[in-house]
Chain A
Amino acid sequence: MLNYRFDWAVVTSGKYFDWILSGFYVTLKLSAVSIALSFLLGLVIAMMRMSHARPFRWFAHGYLEFFRNTPLLVQIFFWYFGSYKILPAAVNDWLVRQDFEFAAAVIALTIYTSAFIAEDIRSGVRSIPKEQMEAARSSGFSYVRSMQYIILPQAVRLTIPPLINQFLNLMKNSSLAMTIGVAELMYQARQVESYTFKGFEAFSAATFIYLALSFLITGLMTLYDQKVLQPIKGH
């Protein structure tokens, strides 16, 4: 460590800076696509979990338990290496023509995160007292309208902080995509390290970007809590 000569120029300009930047871009893209998809899938699973139809409920329950209790890395490997045997031929053909590494990472991140999101949505809805629904119904709202105007607006407000937290986790988890060769931030940082032997600088740059993203998201969450949630709770 003593004879190490720092050379920050490696990661602040030139070719390697471009690599880091392109990794940052891929991390953002991977995270954004997976966040959108995992939110939609999580919503569907949560609805199934709360449904009155037993097969839906059982399926959702099994889905939640299985994907939450399996490492994300194993799920990534499963979709990347092993999915071809269980998917229909047409889907395989289509997938191979896409950027398959990226697609496999999106599928794994989406499914893994959707299981956590579904639970957060469910506990948000369950935290609204039953009496609210009863009061809404007795004042003449239909079930759907009560959900729409009374229950969901409150539930959504309560669910936003845990959801943002899941998005933050997804962003950090997207680093695992490097294991199947998606050239995201972590992959590029390692790439820079192996080309320049400037590991300290390369990892510092990646760490800085991850921390900046994390603090940005955490900051937004705190702001939301102070500006939106606290006034309601205090009331």
Chain B
Amino acid sequence: MGGLDFSVVRDNLPYFFLGRYPRGPLGGVALTLYLAAVSLILSFLGGLILGLLSVSRSRLIKWGSTTVIQTIRGMPLLMVIFWMFFLLPAMLGGGMTADWTIITALTLFTSAYMSEIVRAGILGIPKGQMEAAVSTGLSHKQAMLHIILPQALRNMIPSFVNQFVSMIKDTSLAFIVGVSELTHVATQMNNRTMLYPTEIFLFIAVVYFIMCFAFTELSRWLERRLAWRKSI
């Protein structure tokens, strides 16, 4: 380890964190977090919709949504990314930026995983709650929206935070299609300097670790805290 020279990292620190911003587009760590945050918000919505469909009382909707979920879950994320880069321009006639194509792929992929969290959360609420709500005169839909979902969502919060950690790690695949997030910036730097691959990849590993570990700890803390609240 004594032979490592981290000056290449030190000299290019702004590039690692911001890319060519402010003289060019945002990149590096900032773009990684941006991609992860936007995709997470969108896949929260997607997961909610898919999750609700998968516990639907209509058999057709249930099977349809489950098939979609299982198909996406059976594929590697890389496959989903290639499909998006291949299909979206054909369907939309081009015009979508690489950033948004990768956000679409990440959203589609993560929605399928989110929907399983949502489904487990809804099924985890005791049946008596739905029965009680319906017997006080609410419709099934109202009971789901006002009684079941709010409780279920609270229980899901730690899992959502965990999903954000996966999302941060998954954004590294955007490198393959040339989106200049952290991993892409690192490979560029490595191609340009040639001599410091160990230092560069060790450095970005640590940066990813700090981001992901912080959210892992947050999720654990939330889990303890929400468990305590539940008991009162």
Contact = CB atoms under 8 A, between A and B. Distances in A.
A175 B78 contact: yes
A74 B183 contact: yes
Interface string B80-94: 001100100011000
Query: How big is chain B's contact interface, by range?
Result: 35 or more
A78 B202 contact: yes
A119 B56 CA distance: 34
Contact of A85 (B3, B176, B183): B3
Given A1-B90, A175-B76, A186-B79, A83 B198 contact: yes
A78 B205 contact: yes
Interface in B172-220: 172-173, 175-176, 183, 186-187, 190, 197-202, 204-205, 208-209, 212-213, 216
Interface stretch (A8-16, A62-70, A123-131, A143-151): A62-70
19 contacts: A69-B165, A69-B208, A69-B212, A69-B213, A73-B183, A74-B172, A74-B205, A77-B183, A81-B201, A82-B198, A85-B3, A85-B198, A175-B76, A186-B79, A190-B82, A199-B86, A203-B79, A214-B74, A215-B74
A207 B84 CA distance: 13
Given A82-B198, A82-B202, A199-B86, A71 B75 contact: no
Nearest to A81: B197
B37 to A, nearest CB: 16
Interface in B75-125: 75-79, 82-83, 86, 90-91
B32 to A, nearest CB: 10
A207 B169 contact: no
Contacts, number: 110
Given A203-B83, A207-B83, 9 more contacts: A4-B90, A70-B212, A81-B201, A82-B197, A85-B4, A179-B176, A186-B78, A207-B75, A210-B74
B145 interface: no
Contacts of B75: 172, 207, 210-211, 214
Interface of A: 1, 4, 65-66, 68-75, 77-78, 81-86, 172-173, 175-176, 178-179, 186, 189-190, 199-200, 203, 206-207, 210-211, 214-215, 218
Contacts of B70: 215, 218
B79 A214 contact: no
Given A82-B201, A211-B71, A72 B76 contact: no
Contacts of A200: 86
Interface string B21-54: 0000000000000000000000000000000000
A72 B169 contact: yes
Nearest to A77: B201
B20 interface: no
A73 B4 contact: no
B232 interface: no
Given A65-B213, A73-B173, A173 B76 contact: yes
Nearest to A1: B90
A156 B75 CA distance: 28
A95 to B, nearest CB: 15
A100 to B, nearest CB: 14
Contact of A207 (B79, B190, B198): B79
